[in-house]
Structure 1
Amino acid sequence: MRQTVSSATGLLAGLAGASAVLLGAFGAHALRGVLDERGIELWHTAVNYHFWHALALWLALLCLGAPHRRRAIVAFGLGIVLFSGSLYALALGAPRWFGAITPLGGVAFIAGWLLLGWGVGRRGG
């Protein structure tokens, strides 16, 4: 079972990283001249957080035991979807109310980092 969980989590982390690179390239090339300055800024922020938290998924996979790993990965994954996803949508012209979703993703990121720290601390103690 551990191998299956690790394999699925590794696939998720790899997909998160690859999609961050793809969306970054898409924003840099296909959206230049299409989005205004604010849209490009939102896109860049979304890609930045997306990429860093794809790396956090790997960190959780490599450093945590099962219960902490699962919780941290869920938190980081939700953060990518809610935080970065809402910023991507806003950059592409979604209604302003989508901005209310962004802080929920930020809370998920914070929870992921706290769970990662707690889990690593518990392993060492």
Structure 2
Amino acid sequence: MTRLIPALAAFNAMLALTVGTFAAHGIPPGQARDWIMTGVLFQLPHVAAVFALLGWRSDRATHYGALGLALGSLIFAADLYALALGAPRWIAALAPIGGTTMMFAWFWIAILALAGDRFRLP
């Protein structure tokens, strides 16, 4: 898992930059472009947060939180990107899965921060 999380975060960054650049230069203003920019707006800061978490603590509990952020932001943003590129509207039902995953991950990280060194996973 120690290599998976930074690789996933780097993939998130590459995807957000690629799709965001494509939208800025190739998609006219409107709903599709707004969906993409919303995905980028959520995805890129979570990339930075994942790397910050990995530098903050290097235990399994923190890695689970970082993984939740990386997966949640990927699911949320990819769902919006798919909508913008013409996927059927029912695909929008997946976005809350990504958003909820990010919220739970942030809650988990808050618990870890409050617990300090008293809480470690085996």
Do they fold alike, i.e. is TM over 0.5? yes
2:24 to 5, 10, 28: 28
Q: Secondary structure at the match of 1:101?
A: helix
Asked if 1:77 is matched to 2:70, the reply is yes
- State the one-letter code of the partner of 1:103: P
CA distance in 2, matches of 1:106, 1:99: 12
Report SS of the residue matched to 2:105: helix
How far has the Cα of 1:11 moved from its partner?
Answer: 3.5
TM-score, structure 2 length as denominator? Answer: 0.83
Aligned counterpart, 2:38 = 45
Aligned partners of 2:59, 2:22: CA distance in 1, in Å? 35
Q: Which amino acid aligns with 1:71?
A: Y
Deviates more, 1:96-105 or 1:15-24: 15-24
Corresponding letter in the other structure for 1:110: M
| Counterparts of residues 53-92 of structure 1 (less than 5 Å) | 53-92=46-85
CA contact (8 A) 1:63 1:120 kept: no
Partner of 2:114: 121
* C-alpha RMSD of matched pairs (Å): 2.0
Match of 1:94 among 87, 91, 102: 87
CA displacement at 1:8 relative to structure 2: 4.5
* TM-score relative to the length of structure 1: 0.81
Of 12-21 and 102-111, deviating more is 12-21
The change in CA–CA distance for 1:69 and 1:124 in structure 2 (over 3 A counts) is closer
Q: What are the Cα deviations for residues 19-50 of structure 1, in whole angstroms up to 9, with x where unaligned? A: 32222212111x223xx601011010001101
Amino acid at match of 2:27: R
How many residues are treated as equivalent by the alignment? 118
Gaps spanning 5+ residues in structure 1: where?
none
1-structure distance, mates of 2:4, 2:68: 16
What are the ranges of 5 or more consecutive residues in structure 2 without an aligned counterpart?
none
